[in-house]
Amino acid sequence: MEEEIRLHSVYLHKIAYLYVKDRELAKDVVQQVWLKRMKQHAQFRGDSDVKTYLVRMTINVCHDLLRKQKKWYEPMTDRVDFQTPEHIILQKERTASLIDAIHRLPFKEREVIILHYFEEWTTPEIARFLALTPSAVRSRLQRARAHLKQRVKGDFDEEAARSGTTVYDID
């Protein structure tokens, strides 16, 4: 058990943070996952990889927590590291806009976006994990990308209207 904790805690914290958007809350989620894992140790049948099992538990704990709280936290965008302050501010705004757009997606679309782009899982891996067909995963990804494009474009249009600048469509 100690080996599992050492190997997977950082990864599970990252997954939890993507869902709950709060570092301390993500730590609490991971702690709950390890408590559940200890209680349910004998129930693990080994049908899947331990990491997949732990990720599923983490996502379930996040779902339960968010369902109880019925709110989403503001995203943190402090990972940007450019040289100039202008670049930092611009990148933070773009990152915040994209993360906000991701948070406004329907849950099923948000889930495949997180697993595909943030966790870099392949379509077949996501399909197995979510008990879907690969074509259903591709469909959700396509729908999510279209919604993200629409929402991010809307954000840039609003920003341009406020600042009095013109936004050119580069499609």
pLDDT in tens, 55-105: 888 888 888 887 777 654 444 444 444 457 777 777 788 788 888 888 888
Q: How far apart are CA 1 and CA 7, in angstroms?
A: 10
Place of tokens 């697993």: 115
Q: Rounded to an integer, what distance in angstroms lies between the CA atom of residue 72 and that of residue 74?
A: 7
Coil/strand/helix, residue 104: coil
- Whether the pTM exceeds 0.75: the reply is no
Please tell me the number of Cα atoms within 13 Å of 138 on its side-chain side: 4
Q: Which residues of the chain are under the pLDDT cut of 70?
A: 1, 41-42, 44-48, 70-83, 154-171
Q: What's the CA angle centered on 73, arms 32 and 8, to 5 degrees?
A: 35
d(C-alpha 110, C-alpha 134), whole Å: 16
Residue-range domains of the chain with CATH: 2-69 (1.10.1740.10), 85-163 (1.10.10.10)
